[in-house]
Amino acid sequence: MNKSLLKLTAASLALCAGIGAANAETLRWARAGDSITLDPHAQNEGPTHTLAHQIYEPLLQRDMEAKIIPALATSWAPTDNPNVWEFKLRDGVKFHGGEDFTADDVVFSLNRAMQPTSAMKELLSSIKEVRKVDDSTVHIETNGPNPLLPNNLTNLFIMDSDWAVSNGCEEPQDVAAGGDNPCVRSTNGTGAYVLESRKQDSETVLKQNPDYWGKGKFPLEVTEIIYTPIQESATRVSALLSGEVDLIQDVPVQDLARVGETDGLTLSTAPQNRTIFFGMNLGADDLENDTVEGKNPLADVRVRKAMNMAINRDAIKKVVMREQSQPTGVIMPPFVNGWTEELDAYPDYDVAAAKALMEEAGYADGFGLTLNCPNDRYVNDEAICQAAVGMLGQIGINVNLDAKPKAQHFPLIQNKTTDFYMLGWGVPTFDSEYIFNFLAHTTTDKLGSWNATGYSNPELDAKIASLASETDQEVRNGTIAEIWETLKEDTLYLPVHHQVLNWGMSDTIEFAVQPEDQPHFKFLTYKK
């Protein structure tokens, strides 16, 4: 039954009594954008995962330092067969509805997450079969040894199989196609918090799970969470300054000093496991939204390289980001296996050289193009896009900026209906293979779901596929380096910078910034 609908009125009345009525264990949390869906396998997106982590749980999770720790699995290891991993499950766990957690739920959930409408399927592309051994044991067989399988499971949430089937949620919501199912609005997880009420893009209320298995293992000092997405930066900061909210994840860079210097508040800053970049449709014969008839200017690598040189990353860092970014030449954060200083180096900002490349490619007079950009997802996302518009204009590319909320922006990428777009990418596995599977592999029914560039390189696809079963780390890292060399030379993406996280919060809170921008509130404590 949908608790959100049943309890919305009561929760709203309680809030009308005034923010001051909330006790010290109520956490009032805000960020720029809401979770897109409550279906735990429907969208591979940071804020969506963050809310899901409060309600659902994976077999393994990353803690506030991004280290892998046990969740619904207590142990995991390869068996005598190197292609098979064994996961021992936690005993005595119940779903919010009172159902027992068993191996059946793991088998159902991972198979569900591998379905075509799932946004998580790339993470499980190496899996051949998920098998129940007994109620407390699951075997996962992969197509060849996969030493990184545990890394791929930290955002793969487990649902109650009977509940999901009875609610008509056998298949994940198809977000890109505007699909729907009851699990978009209702939940039944094993997590530390239970959904009390939800109004999309307005407010979500969670209550502490009284039967949570983690009591005594985690602080669990937050008993209620009131989550409010506030897109407007000034309004979000004002809510923190006035005490209407206790924590905001995305303090605007222009307000960092103001927040940090305000009595009663504290500012926490850390590098994020996320890179911001632009993607280009280089695979189409002709573009839908450009001014060139009969051909695709982005298909010419010289045009793409010119655009890469026209992006003044240092100016974006100084003016747009107020020094709160790390310019880069690769779509891979420094946290990730495969990153090197050489790959991170970015081309010099050189308008003259870029114009020369444009002329060489036959576009001395430039052309027009539309840039699709989110305005509620990344730090200063629309402002970065506005800056890029001006920079590309200097080499004759007249860009029309189309900025919209992420709920409308991301389907353009997933449906491959954009020619030029902004995207940010975090790497929860901390390994390059994750980036390749989603963003570089030819789009198939299992891989390349976020590769809207139209890029297809069969030789590169074979190298990407080999990473899942290569157990010799030196060989594997050599292949990763080769793939990155090809991708940089082909210039299908224009990297901008690695993002920096800034969380603002009441100084009564003890809570470190998590590198994936995922606050797990069961870890939060209050100063005594």
CA distance 301 to 297: 9
pLDDT score recorded for residue 21: 34
Same-domain status, 132 and 171 = yes
pTM of the model: 0.91
- Calculate ∠ Cα 13-17-21, nearest 5°: 120
Same-domain status, 252 and 314 = no
Same-domain status, 278 and 249 = no
pLDDT in tens, 144-196: 999 999 999 999 999 999 999 999 999 999 999 999 999 999 999 999 999 99
Whether 251 shows a pLDDT value over 80: the answer reads yes
Same-domain status, 445 and 521 = no
Same-domain status, 217 and 362 = no
Same-domain status, 206 and 320 = no
pLDDT score recorded for residue 24: 56
Same-domain status, 173 and 233 = yes
Which of 57, 52, 50, 45 lies closest to 30, judged by CA? 50
Same-domain status, 17 and 113 = yes
CATH number, position 334: 3.10.105.10
Distance of CA 189 to the CA centre of its chain: 20
How much is the average pLDDT of 462-472?
A: 96
Q: How many CA atoms lie within 13 A of 143 on its CB side?
A: 9
Ramachandran bin of 448, using left for φ above 0, alpha for ψ from -120 to 50, beta for the remaining angles: left
Among 3-17, 38-52, 333-347, 420-434, the range scoring the smallest mean pLDDT is 3-17
CA distance 200 to 324: 30
CA distances from 266 to 154, 257, 521 (A): 29, 10, 17
pLDDT score recorded for residue 460: 98
CATH number, position 255: 3.40.190.10
Q: How many CA atoms lie within 13 A of 239 on its CB side?
A: 25
Which of 462, 468, 401, 405 lies closest to 432, judged by CA? 468
Same-domain status, 47 and 158 = yes
Whether 20 shows a pLDDT value over 80: the answer reads no
Share of the chain above pLDDT 90, in %: 95
How much is the average pLDDT of 89-101?
A: 98
- Calculate ∠ Cα 474-478-483, nearest 5°: 150
Domain housing 324 = 271-501
Same-domain status, 194 and 142 = yes
How much is the average pLDDT of 476-485?
A: 98
pLDDT score recorded for residue 126: 95
CA distances from 498 to 62, 133, 186, 270, 382 (A): 20, 43, 35, 11, 16
Band of pLDDT at residue 2, cut at 50, 70 and 90: very low
Band of pLDDT at residue 528, cut at 50, 70 and 90: confident
CA distance 199 to 244: 18
H or E segment and range at residue 436? helix 432-439
Same-domain status, 103 and 225 = yes
How much is the average pLDDT of 304-331?
A: 98
Same-domain status, 335 and 479 = yes
Average pLDDT, the chain: 94
Band of pLDDT at residue 8, cut at 50, 70 and 90: very low
Number of domains in the chain: 2
Whether 4 shows a pLDDT value over 50: the answer reads no
pLDDT in tens, 185-230: 999 999 999 999 999 999 999 999 999 999 999 999 999 999 999 9
Band of pLDDT at residue 470, cut at 50, 70 and 90: very high
